[in-house]
Structures are given as C-alpha cells and as structure tokens.
Amino acid sequence: MKATIALLPGDGIGPEVTAAAQAVLEEAFGQFGHRLEFRQALIGGAAIDALGDPLPADTLETCQASDAAFLGAVGGPQWAASETRPEEGLLRLRKHFGLFANLRPIPVFPPLAALAPVRAEILSGVDLLFVRELTSGLYFGPRQEQGEGANGEGERAFDTMEYSVQEVERIAHVAFRAARRRRRRVTSVDKANVLASMRLWRSTVDGVAKQYPDVHCEHMLVDAAAMHLLRTPAAFDVVLAGNLFGDILSDGASVLSGSLGLLPSASLGGERFGVYEPVHGSAPDLAGQGVANPVGAILSAAMLVRHSLGLEDLALCIETAVARALDSDRLTQDLLLHGPNSSPPLTTGEMTEAILQHLGCGVFLAV
Ligand code: IPM
Ligand code: MG
C-alpha cells in the first residue's frame, strides 16, 4: 500500500521526536514493502512565528490530503505573552477533524519496573487504557478572557465545563467497545458530587453501560481516582474521563510506566484519519539537546499504523522493537533518574538507533 502522513513537528523537543518516529516508520514500511510519503507542515509556536497563526490553512489542507497526522509537541515560554497561544493550534486541529476520542494506553515494560518511581510489586499486572474525551468539556465551553469584559476591566475570567448527552454517549461507546477487547471493565471518572455537568456525565454513562451487560462499569470521583490509580493500578482496565480530568490523570499515571516520555496517544473521530502524538509536551528545557526520549513518539507512530492504516502486524513489529530496546540498561536519561543504573544515558538518536536495530520483522516474516 501507499500511505501519506502529515508531519507536524511543532515546538521544543517536537522536531527531535518527530524525526525519530519518521525514521522508524520509514524503516518498518520499507521492510514490509509498503510505500510512504511524508508532508511536513507548521503548527503551534513555529507556525505563529512564521505566519502569525498556530494552525495555518495550509496545515489543515496538508492534513486533509493525508491518511493520518503525526504531531510532535506545541508550546513554550517564548509564546507565553503572545496573543494567540501555540496550544490553540492543537485544540483547533482536534476540533476541526472532530477527533473526540483520545486513546492513551499506559505501557508498562517489565524490565523498567525497577526504575519506576512506584514499587515494582504495585506495577505487576498493570494494563491500563485511558479514553479521554477531547473536543468538549472545560477546554471548549463558553469562556471569557481577562480584558474581554464588556467594560474591559479585566478583573475576572471564566471557563465553562459543558457536556451534552450525545457527547458523553459517543465517548462512552468508545470506552465500552475498547473494554470488550480487553478485560471488560470501565471506570468512569467524574466529579458528580459537585458539578452538574458531571452528574449528566454519570447518568449518561450508566445508560450506555446497559448496552454492554458483559462489561463491568464503575464510577469513581476524580480525586479518589488520582489516588487509586497510583495505589492499585492493576485493578483498572479502561479509564473513561472528560477532557480536563483525562489530561491530568494520564500525566499522573505515566509514573507507572517509568516516564512521561514513554506514553503514546491517538486522537480519533468517526473516520480513519487521526492525529497521533506523544503525551509529553514540548519540554523546552530539553529542546535542542538531543536527550528527549523518542519512545512515546515511536509508540504513537505504531498507533497511527494500527488505527489509521489498519496495518496491525506492522504496528506490532514496531511495538516489539521498542520493548526489546527497553530491555537493556542503556536507556535515555528520563528513565535513569530513579534507578541505581550508572551507565551513561542514551541520546534521542541512540535510542532510536537501538529500536531500528530491533526492527527485524521483515526478515522474520520472510522465513
Ligand atoms: C495534551 C496536552 C494538551 C492538552 C495541551 C498542549 C493543549 O497537555 O495533549 O495532553 O491539554 O490537551
Ligand atoms: Mg496533557
């Protein structure tokens, strides 16, 4: 087959991890005899600097003409005072393509258990998938910025958490369908004891749950979920959450993996097209040093291959190569922070190279 992928490197470490994902995709596609075309486009702060818009029309057209988009990261302190923020580009991209379902698996690699900030026995049996609602909630409800007031005093600003039954239903279906392919358990996270929008969330999820009698459904308040996810993570299967709570909890759960740098994500709508990005941000303090962990980006590329291109064996091949490369004491610096390891950390390029070397699937399939 021939696939076209839009590459949106963005800001900070975004370009470095995007290059790593691109190298792995090229190698894997070559081995499987598929053809691949990349089209690069601007997003975030880089697009503000070049064109004054974090999501230029040209970027949307490039995405429109592609099977999927890969995004590095957006944001950085240099745009903190800018009138339009880099993050707005990402939010508009998600909204434009109706990418309401954000899948965030928490990969736990047994060889890394000793390096995670959480005790190894707590990690045993962990296999978690976050299903985060991505185009509504507090991120997209009615808002008013400081200085936008009727008489311009700028004394007050607000954001609104708003959900409709239809918005909750469609993301709940994604969670329950995913649970059917896994351990058949959905934990829906909300704050129904305080927020009206979250009471609607809970009753709507209950309605959807009735259509999946084979899946166990439970509700958990977000504050309790933050604690239980780190105390008894193996008890969870699919965690269903709104936009803000899913954002916060998935960063928190990254400590189960050992590093935020390992986490991939897929943002999907009703079509095959999706946007794939590592969960980590632009990490301005690491940018340009070649030390960022490329694994979150490379695992996002595997999700792209699976969900937008339907090439399951190619996705598995990339994931296997990553798992093998992580079964080593040569790791990137983010993973070595908590362990006794004393070997010098790998650079982004060296880690990518290690994964490329384990991509032996072309040969394997030919046998
Ligand atoms: C994420 C990021 C984004 C979000 C930011 C960069 C807008 O934190 O994808 O998790 O909050 O959704
Ligand atoms: Mg986030």
Q: Is 11 in the pocket of ligand 1 (CB under 6 A)?
A: no
- Predicted confidence at residue 38, as pLDDT, reads 98
- Per residue in 264-277, pLDDT (tens digit) is 999 999 899 999 99
- Predicted confidence at residue 146, as pLDDT, reads 76
DSSP 345: P
Q: Residue ranges of the chain with pLDDT lower than 70?
A: 147-153, 338-342, 361-367
In which residue are the tokens 């954002």 written? 247
Largest CA distance in the chain: 74
Q: Is 74 in the pocket of ligand 1 (CB under 6 A)?
A: yes
In angstroms, the CA 346 to CA 328 distance is 11
327 is catalytic: no
- Predicted confidence at residue 338, as pLDDT, reads 67
In angstroms, the CA 219 to CA 214 distance is 16
Question: Angle formed by the axes of helices 14-32 and 348-358, to 10°?
Answer: 10
In angstroms, the CA 234 to CA 150 distance is 51
What b/e readout covers 66-92, taking b as 16+ CB neighbours within 10 angstroms? Answer: bbbbbbbbbbbeebeeeebbbbbbbbb
- Predicted confidence at residue 360, as pLDDT, reads 80
**Which tokens in the block code for residue 286?**
């690491």
Q: What are phi and psi of 129, to 5 degrees?
A: -130, 120
214 is catalytic: no
| Ligand 1 nearest atom to the CA of residue 250, by list position | 10
285 is catalytic: no
Are the beta carbons of 243 and 136 closer than 8 angstroms?
A: yes
Give residue 169 CA to ligand 1 midpoint distance, Å: 22
- Predicted confidence at residue 152, as pLDDT, reads 54
Closest C-alpha residue for ligand 1 atom 7 = 87
In angstroms, the CA 329 to CA 318 distance is 20
- Predicted confidence at residue 151, as pLDDT, reads 57
